[in-house]
Amino acid sequence: MFAAQAGVLVLAPTLPEVSREFGISTAAAGQLRLVSGIAGGLTAIGLVLLAGRVELRRLLIIGLGLLATASVGSSLAPSFVALAAAQLAIGCGLAVVVSAAVAAAAEWAPPDQRSSVLSWTLVGQPAAWVIGMPVAGVAAGIDWRLAWLAVPFTASVLGLAAVRRSPPVPAGPAPGSNARHLWKVPAVAGWALGELFAYAGWAGTLLYCGALFEESYGTSPATLGLVLAVGAAAHFPGTFLARRWVERVPRTLLVTLGLALAAGVTAFGAIRPGPAFSAVLFGALVFLAGGRTLAGSTVGLHSSEHKVAVTSIRAAANQFGYLLGALAGGLGLAVGGYPTVGAVLGGLFLCGVLPHAAISVATRLRAASAAEQTLELAPVK
């Protein structure tokens, strides 16, 4: 998970440099995530059909190999088109790794330890920001191309070494038609839709936060890497604190944190009195996102017994969310600057809450209807 996140975090501190070198706008350079998002989303959908057919260790090796190869390709890209082509492989590798890693946390852990293992698995991504972002910032200060080798390439190679040392785990039984048609299950479909919008809001925030600091306050790449890394550290307490409630009221926690993120991201774009304020607010958003990520994963894993298929749907929502977030954020930036970006991304978080609110209401109505039927059928004494 660390290596997968490392494949996308490099764009945050290097986006302005990429736009300057290739003579394009920051908004246009941000659409690199659109390219990798399309590739990752389609790959994740394909993994739903393969769920259970390929063992998770092999999937991890394939995904990490793609990330390592694409990182080298990005560092050597002679043009923006070549860089975009490398991002296709980044998206594919990220989708494979995230799907396999989250599924492994659910499949390989004992049931009574699943929430604990899942929370530790999910902190691999913010750990990439905390450790990798300062390294990427320093490397980008020398040359933005060096950042691709310093962080995602190195992380992918180390990940490959670790995964190859682990014993292979036999693939589970091939999924039946029920797993392939999970999209038609209302609970799964509503959860996936909510994840799509939430990931879109968060992806847009992460993609344009670096440009917001640099263009609003003149922050250097090295300083920006440090600021984002410190803010990303808030993901850890956010994730581990959420474990107190995630097994009891996961959907309620999901809705509450989604509403808080909608308000916070809107403020992040509109209220910019100084770099310290924006840095603190960014850390608060990361804290909320940590809890929301754990809650969202838990709700999804509880929605079906087909864990690999569910995590592949989650990865598809993640990647198409990046696509939607990059596109919506870029349009907002082009139309009205960072206040509009914040409003648009906040609106995406709000849209992510609506499916879960609808599911909660429907569940209460069904429970009330069942209770009424029970009373009607009860014998009169």
Query: Is 377 among the domain residues?
Result: no
Q: Which amino acid is at 139?
A: A
Query: Is 371 among the domain residues?
Result: no
Per-residue pLDDT of the chain in tens (381 residues, 90 and over written 9) = 999 989 888 887 788 888 889 988 877 887 787 788 788 888 888 887 776 677 888 889 999 999 999 999 999 999 999 999 999 999 999 989 988 888 888 778 787 787 788 888 888 888 887 888 888 888 888 899 999 999 999 999 999 998 888 766 654 444 444 555 666 777 888 888 999 999 999 988 988 888 899 889 988 877 887 887 888 889 889 988 888 888 788 888 999 999 999 999 999 999 999 999 999 999 999 999 999 988 998 888 777 767 667 777 887 787 788 778 888 988 999 899 999 999 999 999 999 999 988 887 777 777 666 666 665 555 655
Q: How many domains is the chain built from? A: 1
Q: Which amino acid is at 135?
A: V
Query: Is 370 among the domain residues?
Result: no
Distance CA 95, CA 71 (A): 15
Query: Is 59 among the domain residues?
Result: yes
Q: Structural domain of residue 311, as residue ranges? A: 2-165+183-365
Instruction: Please state the φ and ψ torsions of residue 255, each to the nearest 5 degrees.
Output: -65, -45
Closest Cα to residue 332, out of 347, 351, 321, 350? 347
Distance CA 307, CA 315 (A): 12
CATH code (residue 74): 1.20.1250.20
- Crossing angle, helix 154-165 and helix 56-76, to 10 degrees? 160
Query: Is 28 among the domain residues?
Result: yes
Instruction: Please state the φ and ψ torsions of residue 80, each to the nearest 5 degrees.
Output: -65, -35
Query: Is 178 among the domain residues?
Result: no
What is the radius of gyration, based on Cα positions, of the chain? 21
**DSSP state letters, 126-160:** HHIIIIIHHHHHHHHHH-HHHHHIIIIIHHHHHHH
Query: Is 331 among the domain residues?
Result: yes
pTM of the model: 0.73
Query: Is 372 among the domain residues?
Result: no
CA angle 59, 200, 282 (to 5 degrees): 105
Distance CA 55, CA 32 (A): 31
